[in-house]
Amino acid sequence: MSTLTIEGGRRIEGRVEVEGNKNAALPLIAACLLTDEWCTLSNMPRIADVEVMARLLVDVGAEVEGIGSTTLRIRCANVTKDEPDSALVGRLRGSVLLLGPLLARRGRAVVAPPGGDFPARRSIKTHLEALTAMGARGMPGAGHCLEAADGLKPASIYLDEASVTGTETALLAAAAAPGVSEIRHAACEPHVVELCEFLLAMGVGVTGEGSHTIRVEGMARPRGASKQLYGDYIEAGSWAVVGAITGGHVEIGGTRPLDMEVVASVLTRMRVNCVQDNDVFRVEASKLIGAGRITTGLWPGFPSDLVSLVTVLATQADGATLVHDWMYELRLFALEQMSGMGADLFLCDPHRIIVTGPRRLRGKSLDSRDIRSGMALIAAALAADGQSRVEPLETVERGYSKVVERLQKLGAAVAKI
């Protein structure tokens, strides 16, 4: 287990380039299982979750080149197993995305309970219902055991929630089911659109991407394809908060203006001096004010993945901000630690927290309980007086590439122990 030590009180200055969207990378890797031809994925984020997903493919028989780099080449000519390594599965919630492709290639899939952030509170009921609608049936056994001996069948599906990974599971299964499937109440996030674009490149018919109704014309064996991932707007928003909370100047390259609108909207309400210039998002020193109320929403609403970061930013804003994350119950609990740093926080319930600022923060030992709250606590420590320790750093490294080196490059006094 590693610890990040942080000497706070320094302005963050410089430029950082974001890599591909973590939430697009995992379903794209899973999609490579649908074909026996080579696939190439570029601008991949060099993060722990991507490495785990790549190694899961290796475990079931795939050839994977470039693990740990920004370009992966994958060929799944021979899928030799339908039960991925349970230890790897237990480290990654995204491993549930293997169910559909394994059913398509092997007629059977046995996946242990997925891990990741808050595994006990995040159901995969939507995924299983979609696969059942396409002909899979449950079998007795530990974890999630499914069989589709006669192959997956096209279906008309209504998802009980607009789950991102649930939509992706349905898309991956429909791509391998010859005929036309329709997925209604689908998620619209940019990373779902990226999966649709990759499936189109593989020869699968897809229409309606980016809307709540997606039609898929599946095929028995898609062809190999290439895809360059778009820059991760969640990572970009995280670096924007790091710059704003320290009163610094940060340029964030590799961003898409359309994706950054949801980030810029809330930052602008907090009077963060920010501007989009082609693929560069700039943040300047700003006098922050409370936003009144920030509520998460399905795309194109404000993303839950950024709620921890804006909550931390609100501790340095003049006035009160009510942050309401109706999607997840546990993100805000991790931020209660900041009361010991001097933050004025009132946790109303598992979904709502009131932050009143500005309050001068002081260094403290902090526990990174999930990827996003871990990065948010790093931002708080950068703004605090004195030394802080954030651990385990590995939690943050699951979603942020080379976070220590990037912080150091921006002038932060940090060290990994």
- Taking alpha carbons only, the member of 385, 328, 366, 361 closest to residue 8 is 385
Residues 55 and 119 in one domain: yes
Residues 321 and 218 in one domain: no
Mean pLDDT of 357-361: 97
Residues 185 and 63 in one domain: yes
Q: Which residues contact 69 (CB under 8 A, 6 or more apart)?
A: 44, 46
pLDDT of residue 115: 72
In 94-245, DSSP assigns E strands to 108-111, 137-138, 144-147, 156-158, 179-184, 205-207, 213-218, 226-228
CA dihedral sign, ordered 175, 176, 181, 187: negative
Q: Which residues contact 288 (CB under 8 A, 6 or more apart)?
A: 244, 270, 271, 272, 313, 316, 317, 318, 357, 358
Residue 251 in contact with residue 278, Cβ under 8 Å?
Answer: no
Residues 63 and 188 in one domain: yes
* pLDDT exceeds cutoff 50 at 118: no
pLDDT band at 392 (very low <50, low <70, confident <90, very high): very high
pLDDT tens string 330-351: 778 889 999 999 999 999 998 9
Residues 143 and 289 in one domain: no
Comparing 142-146, 198-202, 243-247, the range with the smallest average pLDDT is 142-146
* pLDDT exceeds cutoff 90 at 123: no
- Taking alpha carbons only, the member of 189, 153, 220, 182 closest to residue 26 is 189
Domains in the chain: how many in total?
A: 2
Domain closes at, from 228, 255, 287:
228
* pLDDT exceeds cutoff 50 at 14: yes
Residues 71 and 84 in one domain: yes
Residues 214 and 86 in one domain: yes
Judged by DSSP in three states, 322 sits in: strand
Residues 255 and 287 in one domain: yes
Per-residue CA distances from 127 to 131, 135, 158, 162 (Å): 6, 13, 11, 11
Residues 189 and 277 in one domain: no
pLDDT of residue 141: 77
* pLDDT exceeds cutoff 80 at 328: no
Residues 156 and 288 in one domain: no
CA distance 224 to 35: 6
Q: Residue 362 maps to which CATH number?
A: 3.65.10.10
Residue type, 88: L
Mean pLDDT of 143-154: 93
Residues 71 and 216 in one domain: yes
Residue 414 in contact with residue 68, Cβ under 8 Å?
Answer: no
pLDDT of residue 72: 98
pLDDT tens string 224-264: 999 999 999 999 999 999 999 999 999 999 999 999 999 99
Mean pLDDT of 263-289: 97
Domain closes at, from 207, 228, 249:
228
Domain closes at, from 202, 228, 254:
228
Residues 286 and 209 in one domain: no
DSSP 20: B
Mean pLDDT of 352-375: 96
> Any idea which residues carry the catalytic annotation?
117
CA distance 245 to 237: 12
- Taking alpha carbons only, the member of 20, 27, 24, 29 closest to residue 60 is 29
pLDDT of residue 122: 56
CA distance 58 to 168: 21
pLDDT of residue 116: 57
* pLDDT exceeds cutoff 60 at 120: no
Residue-range definition of the domain harbouring residue 142: 22-228
